[in-house]
Structure 1
């Protein structure tokens, strides 16, 4: 059996291209952060990233191996390297790779895929149970364990921030250490030969997002983490996909973006409502002085003046809402032109006109009577002379 293994379990030297791949994995060795008051030891999981061309490495301690920490470690690794590789080679850990069958394309975690798309890199997971596919990071794990964990094993850390500062200090020493079998160090080879081939970092680092699924309720809102966000009312009853980041909440229906909101924080059960998402009859309940004045202006100058007077009459603007609403809705029944004329008539003859005055003018057609009187007065200014044929005579009998 030993002879068979020697014959068939061969290794192959692979020449890696500069800036082509970044290999990532968790280090099986744990460190600990201690609670300052209770003394409880909190496990710290070590993430490692290695560039196989230069063997330049990055290490970070995390409180968990969940997707949030996994993605954040990649972001910090790209920042440490100062660039992005063409390919990203992870193991088949469930947090990043949902499924990786032999003859099918791998199914990736959506947040992990978004991060890769943002940095313009491509995720190609290793074959299942084939650690040699990422031999560079596997080898770096052992070296880093000796160089970093070994150096820090007798120190106590009370926060992950302090632990990671110490790790970076030892990591810089590790990357600057000269190679034994060739010239230079990991960092010098990286700076001289690999960095020019790395892709540039985006201006802003990737912002981690979490995807959720929600149903649009009858009030055309969805509930995300005990906060409510409006969706166009046409989607009521449908399920939507929601992308949640630290700053925004973006809603998708069948992969099409339909709206976005600033994320709410603080008191639970707050509402973020966009008026354009409401049915027309619901929009009328979302009023303020500016909206009433815009509505009045669309009817005419006299209507605007009268509405402004109504607001001036009250100490609190909400007291004027009912009267303004009733007044302006008269345009639905009598039309904008008649309402504007009625407002002009009221302003000319009444010191403090209101809804009842305008309604009475319109019901009694006083706005039309005033107009007819003007027409009649214009007619009285002219004489109508009948011709001789109108009166008849002896010859027309």
Structure 2
């Protein structure tokens, strides 16, 4: 009855009884004799057949398969050549692929990571672009879909752009945060050039400078996904597939003649998609987001991020830099230096060694306009800006009334007042070389000759000492005449 109740043959039962007697086993068994111990005692594995064939290096094969154009067939051919050189027996192609597949299965192991509400948002471009028809020429233009997904609720944002360049990438993030009504703590993008530049390895990604500024403005942290690692952002990858079905495919038979029309249709389909009930859990993306994520999002900044372009410029000899045909001043100490320029639609900021040295409101309109800050100019250039008729008149009045009359005459001697500024400056500067009194006397003397004296005539009077000398009195009698007497000249005294 035992063979029938156990489902084994009588020969197997006798073999087990014999093995139990040889190992002094009797019922009841000790607790240490577990099923694994008994299996080892009764059915010890026989010596496995040791294959003499050379096994492939699966680590090397895995790395090589990541390279473009490399296939298993090519690697198997190279493997055969290695075996021939080593005088080893190779595996057939089917066995070669079998061991590679077993290694790939081990690498496919994935871990479920529980996300917290409002913790992370994943972004990417959708695979299949939409189409826009030019109403004048009928030409079809591609429109690329940007997708952003809240990791916890899978609440999605979709918007179309005419390209995937930097400006569109940044603008998409600004619109996404406005759509969500808040900011998640972590932002997970793909390894596109608009997000990461010169990414040598996963551990030290170098962020695009404009993208980094966006993150600083919104107070979020950017953690790029690894290269060729879509599981680092599975929610957006899965949503991209759903978007292709419920939005792109759903609008395949409609025609759009502008980007605005396309985005209006996308928004309508997007609302339907977010309100659609989950298949394996209760509620919808919209309900889960508004109930559990939205209250925990960080608030939006007071003003949206303003897109900035970074450029390099050289400070010209007139201490200005040129940006899109407009010229902006820089402190004259930086003449000849290369500076970094951050340009937005409204502001131009200039940096040297990561330190801001100038800021201007951006100029618009005709080319070659100047935006100059007085403090950026050398002192003599600043003084030149201060030259004007009223300043010269006030300076002359402080010296005296005759100097004031001369300055007024010089200012009115030209059709354009600015043409006389150099003469006025030259005349008034004489007060620093000679005394104020001598300049005033020279002006009085010149006015006695003509009502329109020049700066040159005043200088001539001063150089010939024709002006009044305060050390001598004009009313003092002259003491000239013969003072030695007649005897001095040889006359005899009576």
Q: Could you tell me how far apart the structure 1 residues matched to 2:303 and 2:469 are?
A: 65
> Counterpart of 2:191?
92
| Worse overlay, 122-131 or 155-164 | 155-164
Residues 24 and 89 in structure 1, CA contact (< 8 A), matched pair in contact too: yes
Q: Could you tell me how far apart the structure 2 residues matched to 1:203 and 1:324 are?
A: 54
1:73 paired to 2:172: yes
> Counterpart of 1:330?
430
| Worse overlay, 74-83 or 257-266 | 257-266
Q: Deviations over 1:142-190 (max 9, x none)?
A: 1122222122222222221222222222212222223233333222221
Cα RMSD of the aligned pairs, angstroms, is 3.4
> Counterpart of 1:263?
362
> Counterpart of 1:109?
208
> Counterpart of 2:111?
12
SS of 1:49's equivalent? strand
Q: Could you tell me how far apart the structure 2 residues matched to 1:295 and 1:74 are?
A: 58
Q: Could you tell me how far apart the structure 1 residues matched to 2:313 and 2:320 are?
A: 10
1:192 paired to 2:286: no
SS of 1:97's equivalent? coil
Residues 277 and 284 in structure 2, CA contact (< 8 A), matched pair in contact too: yes
The aligned runs of 1:349-368 (5 Å cut-off) are 355=455, 364=465, 366=467
Q: Could you tell me how far apart the structure 1 residues matched to 2:442 and 2:274 are?
A: 82
> Counterpart of 1:278?
377
1:148 paired to 2:269: no
SS of 2:366's equivalent? coil
- Counterpart of 1:83 (choices 171, 176, 182) is 182
Residues 342 and 362 in structure 1, CA contact (< 8 A), matched pair in contact too: no
Q: Deviations over 1:31-65 (max 9, x none)?
A: 11121111111111111111111111111111111
Change (3 A) 1:352 1:184: farther
> Counterpart of 1:217?
316
SS of 1:99's equivalent? coil
Change (3 A) 1:30 1:288: farther
- Counterpart of 2:139 (choices 40, 51, 59) is 40
Change (3 A) 1:14 1:297: farther
Q: Could you tell me how far apart the structure 2 residues matched to 1:111 and 1:158 are?
A: 31
> Counterpart of 1:387?
none
Q: Could you tell me how far apart the structure 1 residues matched to 2:469 and 2:295 are?
A: 82
Q: Could you tell me how far apart the structure 2 residues matched to 1:309 and 1:180 are?
A: 95
Q: Could you tell me how far apart the structure 2 residues matched to 1:343 and 1:50 are?
A: 86
Specify every segment of 5 or more residues in structure 2 that has no aligned partner in the other structure, as ranges.
1-97, 477-494
- Counterpart of 2:163 (choices 64, 82, 85) is 64
Deviation for aligned residue 1:30:
0.4
Residues 342 and 358 in structure 1, CA contact (< 8 A), matched pair in contact too: no
Greater relative contact order, per chain length (Cα 8 Å cut-off, separation 6+): 1
Deviation for aligned residue 1:333:
3.0
Q: Deviations over 1:326-356 (max 9, x none)?
A: 3443344347x5599679979x999878756
TM-score, normalising length from structure 2? 0.66
Q: Could you tell me how far apart the structure 1 residues matched to 2:472 and 2:155 are?
A: 93
Q: Deviations over 1:261-301 (max 9, x none)?
A: 22223333333333322223334444563xx6457657864
| Worse overlay, 224-233 or 42-51 | 224-233
Deviation for aligned residue 1:18:
1.3
Change (3 A) 1:298 1:65: farther
SS of 1:147's equivalent? helix
Q: Could you tell me how far apart the structure 1 residues matched to 2:137 and 2:396 are?
A: 71
Specify every segment of 5 or more residues in structure 1 that has no aligned partner in the other structure, as ranges.
378-397
Change (3 A) 1:357 1:41: same
Q: Deviations over 1:7-46 (max 9, x none)?
A: 6523332211111111110101101112111111111111
Change (3 A) 1:284 1:102: same
SS of 2:158's equivalent? strand
